[in-house]
Amino acid sequence: MINNRHIRAIVEYLNGGMTPDERQAFQRRLESDEKLRQILGQEQQIDRALLLDKETIPILGAPAFDKFLLKLNTSTAAGDAGHAAQQRFDSALSKGSNGFGNKSMLIGLALVGLTAGGMISAIVFEPVIRQPVPPHTAPALVSRPTPPSAPSQATAPVDSGNAPAVVMEHPARPYSTTRTATADRQADAATRPVGNREQPDTPIDEEDVKSYLKRQDLNTGVHTVGDDSVHARFKVGTSK
């Protein structure tokens, strides 16, 4: 009776999976067992058929290799950049584990938060900031630093119509390399005049402001100045 154990023995015999002793013992058994001999013969016949069939399989030549090389080179060119980025990312992650990366991340988050806050403030307060200030209510302040070596000289006030020009003088402070940035800022604050510190050198003419506002109204389509001619032109331009 042939069972799976015998089949396995035949397979091992055919595949060289036996030790020399096992092989000799199997051959002795073959001589006495006709059924086993018959099965072995059939298996050898199948092997021969499959091996002959193997010989008919075409050999993949240059075209397949060219396709492979093309894929390899394309992927390598595209992948190098991605691989480098991946390595940088991995490196950043590994730095994050020793604390330095976490601090950088916190600083980065803080900067992002400050930037976002600043943008929100600009959006909310922009209409208030852009409210035109009547020129006659705000004095034009001019601040001119003078060199420390030169004697202080009074500068003639600039004519700005109704708005009096106030000239503030303060000596140019020599910045010490030994002082800290905080001390420098405090010193600056002490010497600067209080109020609107961003004043133009030349006072603004009130007429210029009015004409500027009119032009803005025309451009934006918002009519705020009681000028009939402007309003009429605007309406003609937009009505059908």
Partner 1 sequence: MSIQSVTAADNDPQTSVSSKTLEEEALYNRFLAGDNEACIALYQRHNQRLFTYCLKMMGNREQAEDLTQEAWGRLIELKSKGRKLENPLGFLTRIARNLCLDTLKSQRRTLSLDDLPDSVHPSYSMHELSEIEEFAVMSLQNLSFDFREVLVLNIYCGYSFEEIAVMLGKSPRAIWTRASRARAQLRKLVFAVHPNERTPDSSKHVGMEEDHDQ
Instruction: Please give the residue ranges that form the binding site for partner 1 (CB under 8 A).
Output: 4, 7-8, 10-12, 14-17, 38-39, 41-54, 56-60, 64-65, 67-69, 71-73, 75-76, 78-80, 82-83, 86-87
Give min distance, CB of 34 to partner 1, in A.
10
Host H or E run for residue 107: helix 100-129
**Beta carbon nearer to partner 1, 15 or 131:** 15
Biggest alpha carbon–alpha carbon distance for the chain = 133
Give min distance, CB of 90 to partner 1, in A.
8
φ and ψ at 144, to 5 degrees? -125, 115
**Beta carbon nearer to partner 1, 7 or 106:** 7
**Beta carbon nearer to partner 1, 82 or 147:** 82
CA distances from 137 to 40, 119, 162 (A): 116, 29, 9
The Cα 101–Cα 116 span in angstroms is: 22
**Beta carbon nearer to partner 1, 69 or 120:** 69
Give min distance, CB of 32 to partner 1, in A.
17
Give min distance, CB of 219 to partner 1, in A.
52
